[in-house]
Chain A
C-alpha cells in the first residue's frame, strides 16, 4: 500500500515550505518530501521580492546569421537593469508577460510575504512597509531586499549612523577594508571604516563558521577569556576608526560582523557584544556556508511541525508511478534502489532550478526529472545563451511554464496534469539572479500552488 496524503509537496526550500503551509491552512493533510538537507542553508537568509527590472532586449538588435557562440563577433550590449527599485510591486508590470509574477499576480506576492512574516515572526524585519530595504552584503554590494533578519537590521544602508565593519585575517573570503571601501564608493549616506582584528585566529586556520558560532553561543573560553568578551576586546580599539569628510573622528554607533554571531543564542550574543562595545551590532549576510540560511531553515521546519505538516528528508522522488486521465495518482520515492509509492490527490513540485537540481540538463536538453514536465527551451543549444554574460540569458528563464493556478503546461500549452502544481525555482520565466527575485517567486508561486493543490485535493 502507498503512503498517502491529500497534498504531497516535493522539495524542501522556501517554495516547498510556503506551499505546504498554505495547503495545510486550507485544511489539507500535507506531506513534504525532500531529497537532501534544504538548500536554504546555502541561501543568504535575505528575502528578496524584486530589486531590479533587467532589460530583455539588447541595446542594439541581436546580430544576424547563425548562432556561433559569438566567437570573433562583438558581444551584444545590454542596457543596465532598472533599479534598485524602492517598491518591488511597481516594477511587476514591466516584467515579461511570462514572468511568474505576471502569471500569478502581485497579490500572490503580497500574500506570500505575509505568510513569510507570519512564519518568521520576530526573527525578521521589513514587514512594516512595502518598500525594499537596502542591506549591505559581504561583497560590499548593497542589496534591495523585502525582508531581512533582525540580526542585519542595524546595518541598513539607509541608516546614516557611522559604521565600523570588522574582518578577520583567517576569513580569507571576507576583507573588511575592501568592503568598507566599496560601500563608500557606492555612495552610502554614512561614514564607514573597515578593520581587521585578531579573534578568529584563536581557531584553526580554516575553522568552520559553525565552530565560531558555537563558541560564541556557549561563550567558550578562548585562551582563558570568554569568547564574547574576547571578541569585544579585539574590536574595541577600532571604535574610533571612522574619519569623516572634515578629518574629524567619530565614535562608531554600529559595528558589523560576518554572519557568525552565534546560532541558537544569536540574539543574546549580539546583545552582549552591543553592551560591551556601546554600539549596535549587526551581521553581514554571507555566501555559503550561511548561518542566516541555517537559522531560517530551522525556523521554517519548526513552523512545518507546528502547522501539522508531515515531512521527511533523505530520499528522492524519482518519478511518476501511476497516472491516468491527466492526473497523477502516485509518485515513486527511492529508498536505496527500492521505490515506495507515495499517493496524493494533488502534488506540488518545488524542487528548485538548475542549481537545486529540480531541472536536469545535458547537451541534448533540459528536463524536469520528477514528473517529466515540459521545459520550454530553444531546440538549438547555441540559442540557450547570449554572449554578454550580464545580458538576458535565455537559460536563466528555463523552467516549467505554469498557468495562473500554477499548473505546468505541456509543449502545446495545455495543462499537463490537472493535479500537479509547480512553485519556486523549477518554474521558468524569471531571471531571479538579475532581478533579485528568487525568494519572492518562491513565496508567490508557493502560496498559489499550495492553495490550489488543497482545493484540487478537496474535490
Chain B
C-alpha cells in the first residue's frame, strides 16, 4: 500500500488498495484508464489540452456557447411570473430592499441582455439557498441565473480592493483559512474567538462579533484516515468515494468517521480521494473563478474514482448539491455530468441501496432514550431529502425525531457571517429557533454544517449529524 501527499499539503489518497506512484502527474497517467473516454471526448470543447495537464484557463464554461455567456434564454422564457419563487424566498421575507428571485433571475437576465444595464447590486443579498428552484413550477433555472449574475457582478462591478470584496473572498475560501488553522487547532480556536480580536474583526472586516467561530479539530479527518491506514474493507463490487468537504475534515471529523464506520458496516470499500472545497461558498459570493479552480481538482479525482467503480457520496448536503447541480450548470469540465449522476448524499445512498430499515430493526435501537430537533437544510430540500432523517429514525427504538418545520435557518453558509446580514440572518432563523425550543429534544440535528452553527448559535443546543446517530443505532 502506498500513499502520497498532494500538492497543498493534505494527506490524500484515493484509497489504500490501489497501487500508485508518489508523483502526482505519474499517478494521473497511471490511473487515467478509467476516465480516458471522458477526457478524450471533451478536448475540443476545452481548448484541446492534454488531459494529464490541467490548465485552469482552458476550462472556461463559456467556451461552448457562442457570444460568451451561458444561454439562459429558454429558462427566462419559461417564467410566467407566478411569483412562487418570491413567496418561498427567505430573504425577501425579511429584507425590504431585496426584490426577490424572480427579479434576480429571469427579469435581470432580460435587462442585462442590453449592454448598458449593470447587474443590480441586490444580487449580493441572495443567499443561494436555492429554494426558488424547488418552488418554480416551470423549472426555470433560477439559482443558475443568480449564480451567473452574481459572478458577473463581482467580476465587473465590485471594487477588488474593497473591504467587502476581501472579506467575502476570505469567507468564500474557508478551506484556506481552515487548512491553516488546523495546523494549530487549539491556538486557532482560541484566537479566533478572542474578544478583542473579534471586535477588531467586526470593525475592520465586517464579521459580526456575535458569531462564534467553529472549533478546529485537533486531528483532521484526513489525518485520522491516514493514521488508520485507509480503508478497512476491500470490495471491488461495492465502492464509494467520500467527498468529506472542508467542514467534516477540519471541524467535525466525527461525522466523517461515522460515515466510514457506517459504510464499512454495510461492506463498502471507502475511498477518500484528494479534494478541495465543493465551491458552495464561492458560488454564493460570486467567486466563480475560485470555484472553478477547486472544481477542476474535485471533478478530476472523483471521476477517476467513478472509473474505479465507485459512487460519490457526501455528508454535507451543500457539497452534494454543488456536485450534482451547480457544477454542470456552471462549468464545462471533463466528466462533470458523469460526476453529477454518480453523486449522492450519504444517507440517501444507503436508503436506495441497502435495507436500512431492516438493518436498524435488527440492531434493536438505542440503549438510552434520545430526542432530537431536526432541521432540514435548504440544500437537502432541493434534493428531495428534507424528510429522510425523520423517516429513517422514526421507527428506531429510543429515538424521538421531530421535524422543526420548513423555515430556513438563515445562515446560508457565509451569508450570516457578514455584519450587514447578521440581523436578517437571525430574523430568518427565528422561526426555526422557536420550533426547536418547542420540540421535545434538547439536541439538534441537521446535515448542513453552517445550519448547525446557526442552530447552536440561536438555541445553545448541541448539534449532531444523522450519520452519527446512525452509527450509534447500528452499533457500527
Name B96's contact: one of A211, A218, A290, A357 (CB within 8 Å): A211
Q: A356 touching B137 by the CB < 8 A rule? A: yes
Smallest CB separation, B302 vs chain A (Å) = 14
CB nearest neighbor in A for B83: A289
B131's closest neighbor in chain A, by CB? A37
Interface: A39 (CB within 8 A): yes
Q: Contacting A3 at CB < 8 Å: which of B82, B343, B351?
A: B351
Residues from chain B with a CB closer than 8 A to the CB of A298 are 406
Is there contact, CB below 8 Å, between A214 and B94?
Answer: yes
Given contacts A314-B383, A314-B386, A336-B324, is CB(A208)–CB(B100) below 8 Å?
yes
State whether B135 touches A36 (Cβ < 8 A). Answer: yes
> Shortest distance in angstroms between A323's beta carbon and chain B's nearest beta carbon?
21
Interface string of A192-207 (1 = CB under 8 A from B): 0000000000011011
A336 to B338, CA, bound (A): 11
* A314 engages B381 (CB within 8 Å): yes
Chain B, range 307-354, C-beta contacts under 8 Å to A:
324-325, 337, 340-344, 351-354
- Tally chain A residues at the interface, Cβ within 8 Å: 40
Question: For B403, what are the chain A residues with a Cβ–Cβ distance below 8 Å?
Answer: 305
Q: Nearest Cβ distance between residue A330 and chain B, in whole angstroms?
A: 12
CB distance from A355 to the nearest CB of B (A): 8
With A314-B384, A315-B384, A337-B337 known to touch, is A36 a contact of B137 (CB < 8 Å)?
yes
- Whether A1 contacts B82 by the Cβ 8 Å rule is no
Q: Give the complex CA separation of A310 and B381 in angstroms.
A: 15
A450 to B2, alpha carbons, bound, how many Å? 58
Is the Cβ of B96 less than 8 Å from the Cβ of A204?
yes
**Set of chain B residues within 8 Å of A210, measured between Cβ atoms:** 86-87, 89, 92-93
Q: Would B99 and A312 count as touching, CB distance under 8 A? A: no
B469 part of interface (Cβ distance < 8 Å): no
A310: nearest residue on chain B (CB-CB)?
A: B391
Determine how close the nearest CB of chain B comes to the CB of A365; give it in whole angstroms.
Answer: 21
A418 at the interface (CB under 8 A from B): no
Given A41-B87, A289-B84, CB of A1 within 8 Å of CB of B353: yes
A162 to chain B, nearest CB (A): 33
Residues of B within 8 A of A294 (CB): 87
Contact of B383 among A208, A288, A315, A356 (CB under 8 A): A315
User: Bound state CA distance, A337 and B336, in angstroms?
Assistant: 12
Q: Which of A3, A203, A289, A356 contacts B87 (CB 8 A)?
A: A289
Partner of B342, one of A37, A264, A338: A338
Contact flag A312-B87 (CB < 8 Å), given A39-B137, A336-B343: no
* Inter-chain contact B82/A312, CB cutoff 8 Å: no
With an 8 A cutoff between CB atoms, is A171 at the interface? no
- Could you tell me which residues of chain B, from 418 to 434, have a CB within 8 Å of some CB in chain A? 427, 430-431
Docked complex Cα distance between A288 and B406 (Å): 20
B136 touches A36 (CB 8 A): yes
Q: Which residue of A lies closest to B96 (CB)?
A: A204
CB-based contact A310/B387 at 8 Å:
yes
A94 located at the interface, meaning its Cβ lies under 8 Å from any Cβ of chain B in the complex: no
1/0 per residue A44-85: CB within 8 Å of B?
000000000000000000000000000000000000000000
In whole angstroms, what is the CA distance A37 to B133 when docked? 9
Contacts of B84 in A (CB 8 A): 37, 41-42, 288-289
Is A335's CB under 8 angstroms from B383's CB? yes
Task: Tally B residues with Cβ within 8 Å of A.
Answer: 47
Interface hub of B351, B387, B431 (most chain A Cβ within 10 A) = B387
A172 smallest CB distance to B (angstroms) = 13
Do the beta carbons of A207 and B341 come within 8 Å of each other? no
Most central of A206, A210, A213, A313 by chain B CB within 10 Å: A210
Please determine whether A314 and B382 come into contact, CB atoms closer than 8 angstroms: yes
The residue that B352 contacts in the complex, of A203, A312, A340, with Cβ under 8 A, is A340
Q: Would you call B31 an interface residue if the criterion is a C-beta within 8 Å of the partner chain's C-beta atoms?
A: no
Contacts of B385 in A (CB 8 A): 312, 314
Q: Kindly provide the distance from the CB of A436 to the nearest chain B CB, expressed in whole angstroms.
A: 21
B13 at the interface (CB under 8 A from A): no
Residues of A within 8 A of B86 (CB): 208, 210, 289
* B341 & A208 in contact (Cβ 8 Å cutoff): no
Which residues of chain A are within 8 angstroms of B352 by Cβ–Cβ distance? Answer: 1, 3, 340
Chain B residues in 8 Å Cβ range of A209: 87
| Chain B residue contacts of A340, Cβ below 8 A | 352
Residues in B neighbouring A314, C-beta threshold 8 A: 134, 381-386
Asked if B93 contacts A312 (CB within 8 A), the reply is no
Contacts of A305 in B (CB 8 A): 390, 403
Q: Would you call A371 an interface residue if the criterion is a C-beta within 8 Å of the partner chain's C-beta atoms?
A: no
Instruction: Report the minimum CB–CB distance from B77 to chain A (whole Å).
Output: 16
* B388 CB–A CB distance under 8 Å: yes
Smallest Cβ distance from A24 to chain B, in angstroms? 14
Instruction: Give the contacting residue for A207; candidates B96, B325, B340; CB below 8 A.
Output: B96
A311 at the interface (CB under 8 A from B): yes
Using CB atoms, name the residue of chain B closest to A333: B384
**Bound CA–CA A314/B88 (angstroms):** 14
Contacts of B340 in A (CB 8 A): 336-337
A268-308 vs B, Cβ < 8 Å mask (1 yes, 0 no): 00000000000000000000111000100010000001000
Is B116 part of the binding interface, using a Cβ–Cβ cutoff of 8 Å?
no
Interface assignment of B355: CB less than 8 Å from any CB of chain A:
yes
Scoring B residues 3 to 24 as 1 if CB is less than 8 Å from chain A, else 0, what string do you get?
0000000000000000000000
In chain B between 96 and 110, which residues have their CB closer than 8 angstroms to a CB of chain A?
A: 96-97, 99-100
Distance between A409 CB and nearest chain B CB, rounded to angstroms: 28
Which residues of chain B are near A315, meaning CB under 8 Å? Answer: 383-384
**Among B353, B355, B386, B431, contact of A313 (Cβ-Cβ < 8 Å):** B386
Which of A323-359 touch B at CB < 8 Å? Answer: 333, 335-338, 340, 356-357
A12 to B84, CA, bound (A): 15
Listed residue (B134, B355, B382, B384) with the most chain A CB atoms within 10 angstroms of its CB: B384
Nearest to B139 among chain A residues (CB) is A36
A39 to B87, CA, bound (A): 12
Name which residue of chain A comes closest to B136, CB basis.
A36
Kindly report which residue of chain B lies nearest to residue A298, judged by CB atoms: B406
A208 in contact with B89 (CB, 8 Å): yes
Q: Which residues of chain A have C-beta atoms less than 8 A from B341's C-beta?
A: 336-338
- Per-position binary interface string of chain A over residues 311-323, scored 1 when its CB falls under 8 Å from any chain B CB and 0 otherwise: 1111100000000
Q: Tell me which residues across on chain B come within 8 A of A289, comparing CB atoms.
A: 83-84, 86-87
A–B complex contacts, Cβ < 8 Å, 17 sampled: A33-B384, A37-B134, A39-B137, A41-B88, A41-B135, A206-B99, A208-B92, A208-B100, A210-B92, A211-B95, A214-B94, A264-B431, A290-B87, A305-B390, A314-B382, A336-B324, A336-B343
Contacts A288-B84, A310-B387 known; 9 new A-B pairs at CB < 8 A? A36-B134, A41-B87, A41-B135, A204-B97, A210-B87, A311-B387, A338-B341, A340-B352, A356-B137
